[in-house]
Structure 1
């Protein structure tokens, strides 16, 4: 896992100790890179499929929200936290096997709001989903 050097030590401890949270662990999300402007993770399709064998649309949202929330928390900095206030996804194609890779990039990093867009791609680099999330930044 690649972490920025100036990251809040308390946030680092929470990320490392929790593995990104209970749901992220259950879905076997592997965080590869963290930052306010860009974060990357991967997730297996197996274990996250819906009844007809496709990667569940909700799994795309969990992956996008996991990255968007952490990226916003990094931007918020010490003594502040991020709260998701809006999320949406556009699903372009499906995956049935392998891993998906999610790249989360900042659209806007403000003082009170952050918006990130996450592109989720299959092993061949084809776009599966685009997830956009907005977080409200609050003082602790």
Structure 2
């Protein structure tokens, strides 16, 4: 499903000098039809009460969904942009690492929809998110 040019090293290199690097997001696994990344829960990702900030969860979700969608495309011909994202925050986290896993719900010619589930180290669901992306042909951009 994913183009072979995308390796863990290559996608983690894309994060250099970005928000992802700043908050510590690391892509850790590329599966047949999924992408996994981790994010630390610390001062970079806390809200004022010392809990994982919901916005940080959305950053992880959008990063996973957008990159997973991109990995299905020929980067010389197409790219994707987010149209909509939502998130349901289910369980709080104060410390440690959370893990997000993006799986496709719809892979179309013009749109893609991905579900991202974020869990704590005990594999308890912290957040579930869905992102819709538009696929843009570079010749029309």
Q: Give the TM interval when normalised to the shorter protein.
A: 0.7 to 0.9
Aligned to 1:62, the other structure's residue is in SS state helix
1:66 to 2:63 alignment: yes
Q: Is contact 1:36-1:72 (8 Å) kept? A: no
Q: Name which of 32, 41, 51 aligns with 2:28.
A: 32
TM-score, length-scaled by structure 1 = 0.87
1:1-140 to structure 2, matched below 5 A, reads: 6-8=3-5, 15-19=11-15, 22-34=18-30, 37-46=33-42, 47-78=44-75, 79-140=77-138
Q: How many residues align?
A: 135
Q: 1:35 to 1:71 in 2, by over 3 A?
A: farther
The answer for unaligned runs of 5 or more in structure 1 is none
The answer for unaligned runs of 5 or more in structure 2 is none
Aligned to 2:71, the other structure's residue is in SS state helix
- Cα distance in 1, alignment partners of residues 93 and 82 from structure 2: 27
Q: Is contact 2:12-2:26 (8 Å) kept? A: no
Q: CA deviation at 1:36?
A: 7.8
TM-score, length-scaled by structure 2 = 0.86
Aligned to 2:92, the other structure's residue is in SS state coil
Deviation string 1:102-137 (CA, Å, 9 cap, x unpaired) is 011000011111000000000101000001001000
Which runs of structure 1 show a deviation greater than 4 angstroms over 4 or more consecutive aligned residues?
11-14
- Cα distance in 1, alignment partners of residues 65 and 32 from structure 2: 9
Q: Is contact 1:39-1:103 (8 Å) kept? A: yes
Q: CA RMSD in A?
A: 2.1
